[in-house]
């Protein structure tokens, strides 16, 4: 991952005064207002296609929460093309995939970062059966345990277009944020993603128009 990509992905911590950082803070505030009753603790960050900015957005929303003194777990549920370990320069030899396969548990596998209040649970080695793992009772239990331990859990997901992984995950979450990439996400694809999410148990809590500056 290039230096530029790393910087972009960590803009909240490296350039907190920027307009991009302000947008992430605003999104955080919106989610907090919507979840005033305490019902919005697990938030999936989803998008229709690959490369629209889910990982970048989830990393920055997570940092925005941690800067507001919330205890945050950032979880990489994109078991097919994991990214968060690269953004935060963490090990990925174990993670969500190994926990769901029955090896180890969240408390020992989640990693601390250079950012106070922020822990990351990486995706782990690519498993042969991602959808099955995400659909499992173990995943539901892991999210429940994470809600107990952290103030908020931000979840990076796989692209909705290629597999049902993101929908499976979002369905287990309290809310979902839809990332739309300016000039790239087709209106039709975004609309379809939105309708699919609305049919699930999750609550759409926001959309982010990414790549605005380009």
Ligand X SMILES: Nc1ncnc2c1ncn2[C@@H]1O[C@H](COP(=O)(O)OP(=O)(O)O)[C@@H](O)[C@H]1O
Site residues for Mg ion per CB under 5 A: 54-55, 83
Nearest residue to 121 (alpha-carbon basis) of 135, 108, 138: 108
* Nearest distance from C-beta of residue 41 to ligand X, angstroms: 22
Which residue from 22, 26, 39, 51 is in contact with ligand X, where contact means CB under 6 A? Answer: 51
Give SS3 for 18: coil
Question: Residue 144 has which token pair?
Answer: 């429940």
Which residue from 13, 23, 42, 47 is in contact with ligand X, where contact means CB under 6 A? Answer: 47
* Region label for 28, one of left (φ > 0), alpha (ψ between -120 and 50) or beta (otherwise): alpha
* Nearest distance from C-beta of residue 162 to Mg ion, angstroms: 12
Interface with ligand X: number of residues (CB under 6 A) = 15
**CA distances (Å), origin 181, targets 31, 68, 161, 204, 212:** 20, 26, 14, 17, 8
Which residue from 25, 28, 41, 54 is in contact with ligand X, where contact means CB under 6 A? Answer: 54
* Nearest distance from C-beta of residue 157 to Mg ion, angstroms: 8
Using the 8-state DSSP alphabet, how is residue 57 labeled? H
Interaction of residue 52 with ligand X, rule CB under 6 A: yes
In this chain, which stretch among 5-13, 22-30, 187-195, 201-209 interacts with ligand X, using CB under 6 A? 5-13
Interaction of residue 162 with ligand X, rule CB under 6 A: no
Give SS3 for 210: strand
* Nearest distance from C-beta of residue 119 to ligand X, angstroms: 20
Residue with tokens 């049919």: 199
Restricted to residues 181-210, the positions that interact with ligand X (CB under 6 A) are 210
In this chain, which stretch among 48-56, 61-69, 125-133, 192-200 interacts with ligand X, using CB under 6 A? 48-56
Longest CA–CA span in the chain (Å) reads 44
Q: What are phi and psi of 77, to 5 degrees?
A: -100, 10
Residues that bind ligand X (CB under 6 A): 5, 8-9, 47, 50-56, 83, 210-211, 214
């Amino acid at each position: 991952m290039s230096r530029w990509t790393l910087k972009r992905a960590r803009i909240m911590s490296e350039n907190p005064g920027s307009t991009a950082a302000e947008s992430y803070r605003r999104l955080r505030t919106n989610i907090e207002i919507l979840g005033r009753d305490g019902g919005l603790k697990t938030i999936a960050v989803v998008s229709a296609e690959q490369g629209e900015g889910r990982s970048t957005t989830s990393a920055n929303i997570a940092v925005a929460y941690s800067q507001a003194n919330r205890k945050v777990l950032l979880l990489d549920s994109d078991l097919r093309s994991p990214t968060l370990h690269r953004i935060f320069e963490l090990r990925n030899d174990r993670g969500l995939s190994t926990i769901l396969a029955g090896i180890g548990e969240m408390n020992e596998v989640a990693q601390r970062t250079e950012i106070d209040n922020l822990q990351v649970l990486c995706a782990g080695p690519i498993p042969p059966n991602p959808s099955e793992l995400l659909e499992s009772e173990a995943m539901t239990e892991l999210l429940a345990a994470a809600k107990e331990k952290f103030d908020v859990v931000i979840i990076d997901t796989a692209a909705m277009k290629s597999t049902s992984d993101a929908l499976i995950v979002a369905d287990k979450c309290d809310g979902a944020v839809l990332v739309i990439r300016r000039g790239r996400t087709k209106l039709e694809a975004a609309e379809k993603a939105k309708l699919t999410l609305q049919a699930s148990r999750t609550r759409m809590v926001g959309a982010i128009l990414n790549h605005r500056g380009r």
